[in-house]
Structure 1
Amino acid sequence: MSKSVRYLTPLIVFGALVALLVWGLGQDPREVPSPLIGKPVPEFSLPALEDPNRTVTEADLKGKISLVNVWASWCNSCRAEHQALMSLSEVPDFQIVGLNWKDEAADAMRVLRLTGNPYDLNGYDPDNTVGIHWGVYGAPETFVVDQDGIIRYKHIGPIDREVWEKKLQPLVAELRARG
């Protein structure tokens, strides 16, 4: 191996690592691609948080546009987005379905009693049985599911006015128009 190649190789490797780092820093950490986009909601069956005798399934997500919101009482970011979800619960033409994740039912019910309940339905997933099939990394996460039960979008992090106006509302309007 020539002397110049021996000295250039580490420099080239270092340059490639710097380029990779710069590229990574420019990415939005909330934009994690999901292999479920464009695919049907995974089959699931969970007890309803408010009524363990009722079951929440993928069939509940068909026929309406649904925002499926993964949340927990112990999640600070979930508390931060709660008021936005309360406001969205008044918007017609879609439902908000909660997926109470890795939580204690009594704690979750207490939060809903104290802060209001934006959810039309709320599945209780204390052991991450369903969350793992949805590819849930943490809470909060929100999925947009169309009328046919197809996942169209995944948002990681809290929903706020900006997220609603720039990302979710245009998608919900598009899905509504498709009927």
Structure 2
Amino acid sequence: MSTETSTPPERKSRGWVMAPLLIFVAIAALFAFALTSGDPSKLPSALIGRPVPQTEFPPLEGLLSNGAPVPGFHAADLAKGKVSVVNFWASWCVPCIEEHPLLIELRKRSGVDIYGVNHKDQAEAGRRFLGRYGNPFTAVGTDRTGRNAIEWGVYGMPETFVINGEGKIAYKHVGPISPDSLEKTLLPAIEKARAVAVQK
């Protein structure tokens, strides 16, 4: 009579069911650690060094600057030889309010064109936000459904991308810009992208 024991079939099948859950938990823990650590921009992005996704952002309806409509933009606008910045934001996003003065400072100090993407927002709320806090954007596009944000690999609001003159993503900042990240990461990333463009 054999004394060997075999694993019940139910236990084996339970192991296969648990494997995806364990993988998901491990990945979620990685992202949670990156978001709560000192530098959330260290979240992985497969888009760094690659062309921006072929997306189009229609203009924010009714938004004017000096009496003229503020345009939206599309991917081709980011590949015209100049380093630029793309910022995803929303009126309902409290961290977006906190970082907004730093976007204005970024524009003043770097001189880059900043393209804003109003994410899953109402046009009136987006206009009210910019009317209250100021408009640092060269163009303001909309992403009503959030589909374009998915294409860009956006995790949440706000997120900021530095785009080189060839329309490739040079740097990605996850979460609100702080005075520290403005000085130590964002401005240097812009200057680095400019230096690489000059060398070419």
Runs of 4+ in 1 over 4 A off after TM superposition: 23-27, 51-55
Separation in 2, partners of 1:119, 1:28: 28
Cα 1:25/1:45, change in 2 over 3 Å: closer
Letter of the aligned partner of 2:128 in structure 1?
R
2:179 to 161, 168, 176: 161
Cα 1:90/1:70, change in 2 over 3 Å: same
Aligned: 1:89 with 2:107: yes
TM-score by length of structure 2 reads 0.72
Q: What displacement does 1:141 show?
A: 0.6
1:28 to 30, 34, 38: 34
Q: What displacement does 1:153 show?
A: 1.4
TM-score by length of structure 1 reads 0.80
How does 1:100-115 map onto structure 2 within 5 Å?
100-115=118-133
Greater C-alpha Rg: 2
Q: What displacement does 1:67 show?
A: 1.4
**In the alignment, what sits opposite 1:57?**
74
Cα 1:26/1:59, change in 2 over 3 Å: closer
SS where residue 47 of structure 2 aligns? Answer: coil
How does 1:74-85 map onto structure 2 within 5 Å?
74-85=92-103
8 Å CA contact retained: 2:96, 2:158:
yes
**In the alignment, what sits opposite 1:151?**
169
User: What is the number of equivalent residue pairs in this alignment?
Assistant: 159
Separation in 2, partners of 1:55, 1:81: 22
Q: Please give the per-residue CA displacement for 1:27-82, whole angstroms capped at 9, x wherever unaligned.
A: 53212111111100011112111378944101111222111111000000000001
Unaligned residue ranges in structure 1 (runs of 5+): 1-19
Separation in 2, partners of 1:83, 1:53: 20
Cα 1:177/1:136, change in 2 over 3 Å: same
Q: What displacement does 1:25 show?
A: 10
Letter of the aligned partner of 1:45 in structure 2?
E
